[in-house]
Chain A
Amino acid sequence: MRDTTSAAPHTSATPLLQTVGLTKRYGSFLANDKIDLDVWPQQIHALLGENGAGKSTLVKAIYGLVQPSEGELRWEGQTMVLSGPSQARARGIGMVFQHFSLFDNLTVAENVALGLDGKESFKEMSARLEQVSRSYGLPLDPKREVWQLSVGERQRIEIVRALMQNPKFLILDEPTAVLTPQEADQLFVVLERLKSEGRAILYISHKLEEVKRLCDTATILRGGKKVSTCNPKAETAASLARMMVGTEIKEVKPAASREITVPRLVINDLNLDPDDAHGVHLKGISLELRGGEILGIAGVAGNGQDELFAALSGERLARDPGTIVIEGIAAGHLSISRRRKLGAAFVPEERLGHGTAPRMRLSENALLTGHAAGNMVQHGFVNTAATLNAVDRATETFDVRKAKRDPEAASLSGGNLQKFIVGREILRNPAVLVVSQPTWGVDAGAAAVIRQALLDLAAAGAAVLVTSQDLDELIEISDRIAVMFHGRLSASLPTASASREKLGLLMGGSSLETKEQAHAADT
């Protein structure tokens, strides 16, 4: 164990928050094992660790959502016992969750009102919401309904809601996992400002570069135990990762030679009206993806990626069957199950509630997408052994860490659930894989495993379509990259010639017709 003290001297004599020997057990499983943590005012403190290391569990204990099995919390030096989040909030502890806790069909203001303890009227609250969000440069329209918002905007609601409580101590659990680089930069400005206002921030992230840039101190967890506290600015991303994993992280290696074969996924001039008033209109999207190829789709979230995913998966049907061709078969009118039977597999962006049913077991969630093809269902009866077997295979291949063999999906840590979902689809050996944000919230080691698996799948002859906010990821694994902007897809560039600058320009819409851009800007 090593302990390099952080660079900045502390402004006060006692830490704002301490955990002393904090332990959390789930049955016989130790999610947190005697963790000591000190967070000082005016400090941005990173909490790092692999998926399932116990980060979310620890911060939920600090926020009063999880009752520690042993150990104690101290607030400004005093022992603190929390029987629920409202008590944490009363002390000035705020939290932004890894998974959003928003009601889809309520408005922004209604959602914020539900999470506040104060007694102000709804009107006062709405006014304050607008004012706080504007003053921190996180604009929000209080009257919009949440289901119409992009993930980045939803995150903004959670952050503004936390800020409205004027917290002394703010916990952010992987806030940037879903943000575009621009949105993340905006967030960092807010965090720096909160820090200069004397608040403390506990910051969970898998993106080590941003931790180095932003945080003063980092505490690293591994397998539920604290392994080190260090100054991240004095470390390299690689050395931080090594502390998290305990070993070196493997490099992702593309297969030496990949054979590009037949077209497996073809989109012919796909036009699709949005489901709702705020959705994106898909306009004239065409592409051809051959076996052995990985095509990356870059773009700022909310430019039609969700709509494209729904059209490809069959959650929304196209009018003309020929607009989507899977394995040579016109599939635009086919249901998602029929498309799966043709050999397609899909990984959506949202893992809880879309990719999985949160309150159902993993085996049932394996059945969710596995029932259409394969041996999981015989004569209408579920073959439980086959579903469990699928769970075991995903667990083994993708190192899914969980407390028992077949837990509820919601009890997995975020990254581990992501590994399960990606594993579930890849292990079906699809001919076409459409995947959205494959490494969302996944730690560096596991991200490497998933990217490698995508490359291996392509090497085995599949066509892979990856949508991601993470340009580095796309550059690392794609053969070609196309950019989505206002519902249109640019022509794809070979990755070798796709510089970040070029992609950045495309993501801003600059090389698309200016007429279109002007039209799209005012919708």
Chain B
Amino acid sequence: MQLILEKRAERSRTVALASPLIAIGLTIVTMTILFMVLGKNPISALYVYFIVPLADGYSLQEIAVKATPLVMIAIGLSLCYLANAWNIGAEGQFLMGAVAGSWIAVKTQGTGAGHWVLPAMLLLGALAGALYALIPAICKVRFGASEILTSLMLVYVADLLLDYLVRGPWRDPQGFNFPTTAEFDPVATVPTLIEGGRLHLGSILALIVVAAGAVLLGKTIKGFEIRVVGAAPRAARFGGFNANQLILLTFAISGALSGLAGIIEVAGPVGHLQPGISPGYGFTAIIVAFLGRLNPIGILIAGLFLALTFIGGEQAQITMKIPLDVTKVFQGILLFYVLACDSLILYRFRIVSSSPQVARGAH
């Protein structure tokens, strides 16, 4: 007996739609087993993970707040992935955006600067993210360096730079030596949407990004270009599209969105620059992009779902003493199943009885 993967004659549309759902189902089954191994009641654990956060307004807002960076980053990543450009370093671009935007906040601190500060921070954050993303893209185009490795390695560079700044030059003098900048001025802060609530303007921006992504991919020639270059490179060249230019473009857009998400996170929910501003948004967004089938609307839904797992994870830690790392495990397993289920769209499993011996020699 042998299990083999066999190419399907026709691409299955049902599986294409169902694949993310199957992946979520399989992940939940695996998690159930994991909870049992950890000695927790799986039913109540799943309840705490997926239902409790939906039950009160505060958690719902928190889900939207967490989904905001995930969705923003994932839209950019989906453009890269559709064009066959593998940006794995969104986390680094996110941090770079946060650092660059914060620079304005730190420099204008207490100077009474006007309302130009926040827009300038957002612009600079996006610009820094784009430039940072262009490093691996240019290395790829000019020297053929694997963008997967270079973009990933640059994450750690950004991480250390942020660490250095908040421990050194930008440290809050009144901060009891904690590695953090001072709390940003109100003009350097993203306004909330509800008085006293957590939901902020960034979520609206994320929705605009989703809409823009949908229009770009569905209605414009650039979006078409991105899709053809990834789907059929030779045909794309015949169509007059330049794959290298698209690598630069999609990396730049993706970096800009990651950087924007970074500065919004710092100037919004966090309020100051410090290490650990991201629980791995840039990596989780990779899962969001694939779970959303690289489709903007799908990404919006997937972003909300993964945000739910962050909140659920916190709840489970508080109420059931389940380690927070279980959330990371959950996300990892989910990505694994998403990719596995995606191959089922083009392939299917078959069991063959141990291979019928093919005759030797054709004569």
Task: Give me the interface of A with B, judged by CB distance under 8 Å.
Answer: 60, 65-67, 83-87, 89-90, 116-120, 128, 131-132, 135-136, 163-166, 197, 313-315, 335-337, 340, 346, 348, 353-360, 364-365, 367-369, 371-372, 377, 380-382
Q: Is there a chain A Cβ closer than 8 Å to B236's Cβ?
A: yes
Nearest residue (CB) in A for B221 is: A377
Binds A, one of B67-75, B186-194, B227-235: B227-235
User: 23 A-B pairs, CB-CB below 8 angstroms?
Assistant: A66-B9, A84-B350, A85-B6, A86-B352, A90-B355, A117-B355, A120-B360, A128-B361, A132-B362, A132-B363, A166-B359, A166-B361, A166-B362, A313-B238, A336-B237, A337-B240, A353-B235, A357-B231, A359-B11, A359-B231, A371-B239, A372-B240, A382-B219
Within 8 Å CB of B227, what residues of A? 360
Once the chains bind, are B6 and A135 in contact (CB under 8 Å)? Answer: no
Nearest residue (CB) in A for B4 is: A86
Q: How far is the CA of A337 from the CA of B232 in the complex (A)?
A: 17
Known contacts A118-B355, A354-B235, A355-B235: does B361 contact A132 (CB below 8 Å)? yes
Nearest residue (CB) in B for A371 is: B221
Q: How far is the CA of A67 from the CA of B10 in the complex (A)?
A: 10
Once the chains bind, are A360 and B234 in contact (CB under 8 Å)? Answer: no
Nearest residue (CB) in A for B222 is: A380
Q: Which of B306-363 contact A (CB under 8 A)?
A: 350, 352, 355-363
Starting from the known contacts A118-B358, A128-B360, A368-B236, 7 additional A-B residue pairs (CB-CB under 8 Å) come to A119-B355, A132-B361, A336-B240, A354-B238, A357-B235, A359-B231, A381-B219
Known contacts A166-B359, A360-B228, A368-B235: does B9 contact A335 (CB below 8 Å)? no
Known contacts A66-B9, A335-B240: does B358 contact A356 (CB below 8 Å)? no
Q: How far is the CA of A371 from the CA of B6 in the complex (A)?
A: 37
Once the chains bind, are A90 and B235 in contact (CB under 8 Å)? Answer: no
Q: How far is the CA of A354 from the CA of B231 in the complex (A)?
A: 12
Residue B363 contacts which of A197, A353, A365 (CB distance < 8 angstroms)? A197
Nearest residue (CB) in B for A354 is: B234
Within 8 Å CB of A84, what residues of B? 6, 350
Q: Is there a chain A Cβ closer than 8 Å to B220's Cβ?
A: yes
Nearest residue (CB) in B for A384 is: B219
Q: Which of B209-231 contact A (CB under 8 A)?
A: 219-222, 224, 227-228, 231
Q: How far is the CB of A143 from chain B (nearest CB, A)?
A: 21
Within 8 Å CB of A119, what residues of B? 355, 357
Residue A382 contacts which of B11, B224, B355 (CB distance < 8 angstroms)? B224
Within 8 Å CB of A89, what residues of B? 358
Q: How far is the CB of A30 from chain B (nearest CB, A)?
A: 16
Once the chains bind, are A368 and B228 in contact (CB under 8 Å)? Answer: yes
Q: How far is the CA of A119 from the CA of B362 in the complex (A)?
A: 16
Nearest residue (CB) in A for B237 is: A315
Residue B238 contacts which of A128, A166, A336 (CB distance < 8 angstroms)? A336
A-B contact count, CB below 8 Å?
A: 113
Q: How far is the CA of A86 from the CA of B222 in the complex (A)?
A: 41
Within 8 Å CB of A354, what residues of B? 234-235, 238
Known contacts A346-B238, A357-B236, A381-B219: does B350 contact A364 (CB below 8 Å)? no
Q: How far is the CB of A156 from chain B (nearest CB, A)?
A: 14
Known contacts A86-B352, A377-B221: does B238 contact A118 (CB below 8 Å)? no
Once the chains bind, are A353 and B350 in contact (CB under 8 Å)? Answer: no
Within 8 Å CB of B10, what residues of A? 66
Known contacts A119-B355, A381-B219: does B239 contact A360 (CB below 8 Å)? no
Nearest residue (CB) in A for B353 is: A90
Residue B228 contacts which of A120, A357, A372 (CB distance < 8 angstroms)? A357
> Interface size class for chain B?
20 to 34
Nearest residue (CB) in A for B218 is: A382
Within 8 Å CB of B238, what residues of A? 313, 315, 336, 346, 348, 354-355, 368-369
3 tightest Cβ-Cβ pairs between the two chains A and B: A337-B240, A357-B232, A118-B358
Within 8 Å CB of B224, what residues of A? 364, 367, 371, 382
Within 8 Å CB of A314, what residues of B? 240
Within 8 Å CB of A364, what residues of B? 224, 228
Once the chains bind, are A359 and B232 in contact (CB under 8 Å)? Answer: yes
Q: How far is the CB of A106 from chain B (nearest CB, A)?
A: 16
Within 8 Å CB of B235, what residues of A? 353-357, 365, 368
Within 8 Å CB of B231, what residues of A? 357, 359-360
Write the B1-34 contact mask toward A (1 if CB under 8 angstroms, else 0). 0001010011100000000000000000000000
Q: How far is the CA of A345 from the CA of B361 in the complex (A)?
A: 48
Within 8 Å CB of A336, what residues of B? 237-240
Q: How far is the CA of A11 from the CA of B234 in the complex (A)?
A: 49
Q: How far is the CA of A372 from the CA of B219 in the complex (A)?
A: 16
Q: How far is the CA of A165 from the CA of B359 in the complex (A)?
A: 7
Q: How far is the CA of A354 from the CA of B9 in the complex (A)?
A: 21
Q: How far is the CA of A368 from the CA of B359 in the complex (A)?
A: 46
Once the chains bind, are B9 and A60 in contact (CB under 8 Å)? Answer: yes
Q: How far is the CB of A7 from chain B (nearest CB, A)?
A: 26
Q: How far is the CB of B15 from chain A (nearest CB, A)?
A: 15
Q: How far is the CA of A119 from the CA of B358 in the complex (A)?
A: 9
Nearest residue (CB) in A for B359 is: A166
Once the chains bind, are A86 and B228 in contact (CB under 8 Å)? Answer: no
Residue A358 contacts which of B4, B6, B220, B232 (CB distance < 8 angstroms)? B232
Q: How far is the CA of A132 from the CA of B360 in the complex (A)?
A: 10
Q: How far is the CB of A164 from chain B (nearest CB, A)?
A: 6
Q: Which of B222-274 contact A (CB under 8 A)?
A: 222, 224, 227-228, 231-232, 234-240
Q: How far is the CB of A148 from chain B (nearest CB, A)?
A: 15
Within 8 Å CB of B358, what residues of A? 89, 116-118, 164-166
Within 8 Å CB of A371, what residues of B? 221, 224, 239-240
Once the chains bind, are A353 and B232 in contact (CB under 8 Å)? Answer: yes
Q: How far is the CB of A52 from chain B (nearest CB, A)?
A: 17
Nearest residue (CB) in A for B236 is: A357
Within 8 Å CB of A380, what residues of B? 220-222
Q: How far is the CB of B182 from chain A (nearest CB, A)?
A: 44
Once the chains bind, are A369 and B359 in contact (CB under 8 Å)? Answer: no
Q: How far is the CA of A119 from the CA of B238 in the complex (A)?
A: 40
Q: How far is the CA of A346 from the CA of B356 in the complex (A)?
A: 47
Nearest residue (CB) in B for A376 is: B221
Once the chains bind, are B361 and A131 in contact (CB under 8 Å)? Answer: yes
Q: How far is the CB of A161 from chain B (nearest CB, A)?
A: 10
Q: How far is the CA of A85 from the CA of B236 in the complex (A)?
A: 31
Nearest residue (CB) in B for A377 is: B221
Nearest residue (CB) in B for A380 is: B220
Q: How far is the CB of B246 from chain A (nearest CB, A)?
A: 14
Within 8 Å CB of A355, what residues of B? 235, 238
Q: How far is the CA of A136 from the CA of B237 in the complex (A)?
A: 38
Known contacts A335-B240, A355-B238, A371-B239: does B350 contact A83 (CB below 8 Å)? yes
Known contacts A336-B240, A360-B228, A371-B239: does B6 contact A136 (CB below 8 Å)? no
Nearest residue (CB) in A for B356 is: A90
Once the chains bind, are A136 and B355 in contact (CB under 8 Å)? Answer: no
Q: How far is the CB of A203 from chain B (nearest CB, A)?
A: 18
Q: How far is the CB of A210 from chain B (nearest CB, A)?
A: 23
Within 8 Å CB of A367, what residues of B? 221, 224
Within 8 Å CB of A382, what residues of B? 219-221, 224
Within 8 Å CB of B350, what residues of A? 83-84, 86
Q: How far is the CB of A197 from chain B (nearest CB, A)?
A: 7
Nearest residue (CB) in B for A370 is: B239
Nearest residue (CB) in B for A60 is: B9
